[in-house]
Amino acid sequence: MNVMVLGATGLTGAAVVEKLLERPEVTSVIAPVRRRVGLEHHKLIQHQVDFDDLEASADLFAVDVIVCCLGTTIKKAGSREQFRKVDFGYSLEAARLGRAAGARAFILMSAIGASSDSTIFYNRVKGELEDAVRELGYPYLSVYHPSLLLGDRQEQRTAEALGIKLMPLVNRVLLGPLEKYRGVQAATVAQAMANEVCAMGTEAPAEPVQHLRDYPEIQKLAG
């Protein structure tokens, strides 16, 4: 199968690309990027695109599965408006183009607490994106709700760095209904996504399928 990975230069997206390239079920990995990924592989096809005009690259979206790990922070984006443009606008446009081109499955990296009814701006934008993607009618949709993503980032995020140091201790007390708030390694999320892609088979399901993956499901899928 041919798989597109959006956000291929990010912490989780880069790991998804690497894990998909290892799988014999995957024929090619298409990565629309602003800058090229520092990775060479005969199955990796990189395309430098203008995310403000994804329509100009619509032909790239004729794939079987799209894995969307696009995302930023308000601090990095510079404003709420710019954050929304990336996390909502770019992601939704990619999902729309993929559906129009015949993609049968969409795997979306969202976040714990995402809800269009949330009073927290970040969670509300993530929830609004989920709602909008569901309306596109993908035969197979899987939405991931990780809590804090653990791993080595290229950019420094002070609050996250502190959280990453504390999370191994915090995880021990997050039991039962609180388990979904445990921090999770980005590599574990990537492994779960790659496993899910390869378990789909080559045909669209007879009936629409929608999954919501939080910490326990992510761990289970990662194996």
Q: Which string of DSSP letters, residue by residue, matches the chain?
A: -EEEEESTTSHHHHHHHHHHHT-TT-SEEEEEESS--S---TTEEEEE--GGGGGGGGGGG-SSEEEE-----HHHHSSHHHHHIIIIIIHHHHHHHHHHTT--EEEEE--TT--TT-SSHHHHHHHHHHHHHHTT--SEEEEE--SSEES--SS--HHHHHHHHHHHHHHTT--GGGGGGS-EEHHHHHHHHHHHHHHS-SS--SS-EEEEE-HHHHHHHH-
Distance CA 85, CA 51 (A): 10
User: Which residues are tagged catalytic?
Assistant: 122, 126
